[in-house]
């Protein structure tokens, strides 16, 4: 037998060398991302001549979309886009629970599986710095790529600014690149069951103290007044960033409180100031006395359905979460849900936090012109008006749509909706400090809120949170 050929050690050495080759090549292959965004010139500069919707005719745009009523209105109108531009749209729709995981993994892989996608303004802080998002500023300012009727000035300025950032942690929004376009948004206000309010002789809360009082009163009195199992106020409580941003952050901001302070470019957690601690304690107390049972698992789905099922007397969350329960025939409470801006802060502030469903473009897209035409059409007056009047795109990002007679006529059937929208729209903005660790910070904040709700000392919990976050964001 030829021992040299069957030498096990030699074979293992060769195998190891072969196995190591891809590993070593991976060392030199990089990690799939770019250093920062905005390098070099924009692909928008390559578009010249007069503007023409048909310039990218024959191309196909791939879109990643989240399952949402706004998305339904978009999909229903896609034919108009293809007719107008000759560009086809292929899309995948994912439920919100795993939509952002899918988007994150896809973008971080450095592939261009999708040319355009839905994202929130907070995601710009995460996806912008690694260079995954196309700066849309050059596209917007290029008259060869953008039609005159698109009308940038028609957007509510606070919404457009919310997607604009310099990519520097702590720097205010509204400066730097335009990394997404506002497409649909949600403002956080109070919706209430008019039937229970009438029966118990209640009026919508004008202060946070009143809100806490009314929440407790509903939980105590409503079951005895024919509203079996009803509690006071539905607010989110799961261990997620999404718990912080709607009602909690809105009321927190109305009290003039900040998540972080920025001093000389240094970010410092501020959720443990004495005022913030007192507010957080009161919020947890309100949930205990007037909030939902099993609050720590509450997401917007539960909050919304509890209002619709007459289990919650009030909802302090996105206006859309209440609207879809309020429309005729949608739920047992439909026709009995009204809107109110919610409690004012001690100085009368109605500062409101918001969520903006925005549309962004993949910086790695090989189809940028067609993708831009899609974004332009989807955020244009024609589609957004149609989506608002015929679909359920109820919070217009454009001033012209919000003033449209057909839109107003449609919305006037929902008590207090238009008035509430008009009252808070100018005071609604992103109330968080932009920084890359947003999701870590707000998830930890939600966990702290749960601990305080569970009976832990608010001061020590929030001090612990602040010291943990200082090391991460400072």
Which bin fits 437, alpha (ψ -120 to 50), beta or left (φ > 0)?
alpha
Confirm or reject binding of residue 240 to another protein (CB under 8 A): yes
Q: Got the DSSP string for 333-370? A: TTTSEEEE---B-TT----B-EEEEEEEEBTT-S-HHH
With CB under 8 A, what is the number of residues at the site for another protein? 52
Q: Beta-carbon neighbour count of residue 69 at 10 Å? A: 16
Q: Tell me how far, at minimum, the Cβ of 97 lies from another protein, in Å.
A: 9
Confirm or reject binding of residue 32 to another protein (CB under 8 A): yes
Residue with structure tokens 């948004």?
185
Confirm or reject binding of residue 282 to another protein (CB under 8 A): no
Q: What ranges make up the beta strands (E) of 98-206?
A: 116-120, 164-165, 177-178, 181-193
Q: Are 108 and 100 in contact (CB under 8 A)?
A: no
Of the candidate residues 179, 221, 451, 469, the single one contacting another protein (CB under 8 A): 451
- CB nearer to another protein: pick between 37 and 343: 37
Give dist(CA 141, CA 134) in Å, integer. 14
Of the candidate residues 41, 294, 328, 347, the single one contacting another protein (CB under 8 A): 294
Q: What track of x and - describes contact with another protein for positions 329 through 368 (by CB under 8 A)?
A: ----------------------------------------
Confirm or reject binding of residue 453 to another protein (CB under 8 A): yes
β-pair type (266-269, 181-193)? unpaired
- CB nearer to another protein: pick between 31 and 83: 31
Of the candidate residues 138, 204, 246, 292, the single one contacting another protein (CB under 8 A): 292
Q: Radius of gyration (Cα) for the chain, nearest Å?
A: 25
Of the candidate residues 220, 268, 408, 456, the single one contacting another protein (CB under 8 A): 456
- CB nearer to another protein: pick between 91 and 439: 439
Stretch that binds another protein, among 56-64, 289-297, 347-355, 402-410 (CB under 8 A): 289-297
Residues between 198 and 237 that touch another protein (CB under 8 A): 229, 231
> Phi and psi of 234, rounded to 5°?
-90, 120
β-pair type (88-94, 60-66)? parallel
Confirm or reject binding of residue 439 to another protein (CB under 8 A): yes
Stretch that binds another protein, among 31-39, 66-74, 316-324, 376-384 (CB under 8 A): 31-39
Among residues 114, 242, 108, 130, the alpha carbon closest in space to that of 179 is found at 130
Q: Are 121 and 428 in contact (CB under 8 A)?
A: no
Q: Tell me how far, at minimum, the Cβ of 199 lies from another protein, in Å.
A: 20
Confirm or reject binding of residue 26 to another protein (CB under 8 A): yes
Confirm or reject binding of residue 99 to another protein (CB under 8 A): no
- CB nearer to another protein: pick between 30 and 41: 30
Find residue 339's DSSP bridge partners.
191
Q: Are 54 and 83 in contact (CB under 8 A)?
A: no
Give dist(CA 420, CA 411) in Å, integer. 12
Residues between 104 and 133 that touch another protein (CB under 8 A): 104-105, 108, 126-127, 129-131
What DSSP designation does 69 have? H
Among residues 266, 274, 283, 284, the alpha carbon closest in space to that of 433 is found at 266
Q: Tell me how far, at minimum, the Cβ of 326 lies from another protein, in Å.
A: 20
Of the candidate residues 142, 238, 273, 427, the single one contacting another protein (CB under 8 A): 238
Of the candidate residues 23, 39, 264, 265, the single one contacting another protein (CB under 8 A): 23
Find residue 407's DSSP bridge partners.
none
Interacting residues toward another protein by CB under 8 A: 2, 5-6, 11, 15, 19, 22-23, 26-27, 30-35, 101, 104-105, 108, 126-127, 129-131, 229, 231, 238-240, 292-297, 306, 309, 311, 436-437, 439-440, 443, 446-448, 450-451, 453-454, 456
């Amino acid at each position: 037998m030829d021992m040299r050929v069957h030498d096990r050690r030699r074979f293992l050495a060769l195998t190891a060398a072969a196995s190591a080759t891809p590993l070593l090549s991976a060392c030199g292959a990089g990690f799939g991302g770019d250093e920062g965004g905005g390098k070099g010139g924009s692909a928008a500069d390559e578009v010249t001549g007069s503007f023409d919707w048909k310039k990218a005719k024959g191309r196909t745009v791939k879109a990643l979309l989240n399952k949402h009523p706004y998305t339904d209105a978009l999909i229903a109108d896609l034919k108009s886009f293809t007719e107008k531009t000759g560009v086809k749209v292929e899309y995948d729709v994912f439920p919100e629970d795993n939509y952002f995981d899918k988007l994150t993994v896809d973008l971080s892989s450095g592939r261009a599986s999708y040319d355009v996608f839905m994202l929130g303004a907070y995601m710009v802080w995460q996806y912008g710095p690694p260079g995954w998002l196309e700066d849309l500023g050059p596209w917007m300012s290029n008259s060869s790529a953008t039609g005159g009727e698109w009308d940038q000035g028609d957007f509510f300025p606070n919404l457009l600014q919310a997607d604009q950032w310099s990519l520097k942690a702590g720097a205010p929004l509204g400066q730097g690149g335009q990394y997404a376009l506002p497409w649909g948004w949600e403002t956080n206000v109070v919706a209430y069951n008019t039937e229970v309010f009438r029966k118990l002789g209640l009026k919508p809360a004008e202060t946070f103290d009143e809100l806490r009082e009314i929440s407790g009163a509903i939980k105590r009195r409503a079951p005895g007044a024919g509203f079996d199992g009803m509690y006071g106020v539905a607010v989110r409580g799961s261990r997620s960033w999404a718990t912080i941003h709607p009602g909690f952050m809105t009321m927190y901001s109305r009290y003039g409180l900040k998540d972080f302070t920025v001093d000389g470019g240094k970010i410092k957690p501020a959720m443990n100031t004495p005022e913030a601690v007192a507010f957080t304690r009161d919020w947890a107390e309100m949930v205990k006395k007037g909030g939902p049972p099993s609050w720590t698992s509450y997401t917007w789905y539960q909050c919304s359905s509890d209002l619709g099922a007459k289990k919650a007397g009030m909802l302090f969350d996105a206006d859309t979460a209440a609207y879809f329960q309020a429309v005729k025939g949608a739920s047992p409470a439909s026709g009995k849900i009204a809107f109110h801006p919610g409690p004012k802060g001690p100085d009368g502030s109605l500062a409101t936090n918001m969520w903006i469903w925005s549309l962004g473009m993949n910086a790695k897209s090989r189809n940028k012109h067609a993708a831009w035409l899609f974004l332009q059409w989807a955020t244009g007056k024609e589609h957004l008006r149609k989506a608002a009047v015929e679909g359920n795109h109820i919070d217009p990002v454009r001033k012209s749509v919000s003033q449209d007679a057909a839109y107003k006529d449609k919305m006037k059937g929902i008590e207090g909706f238009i008035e509430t929208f008009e009252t808070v729209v100018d005071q609604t903005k992103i109330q968080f400090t932009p920084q890359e660790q947003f999701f870590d910070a707000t998830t930890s904040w939600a966990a702290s809120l749960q601990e305080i709700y569970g009976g832990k000392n608010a001061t020590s919990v929030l001090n612990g949170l602040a010291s943990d976050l200082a090391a991460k964001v400072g």
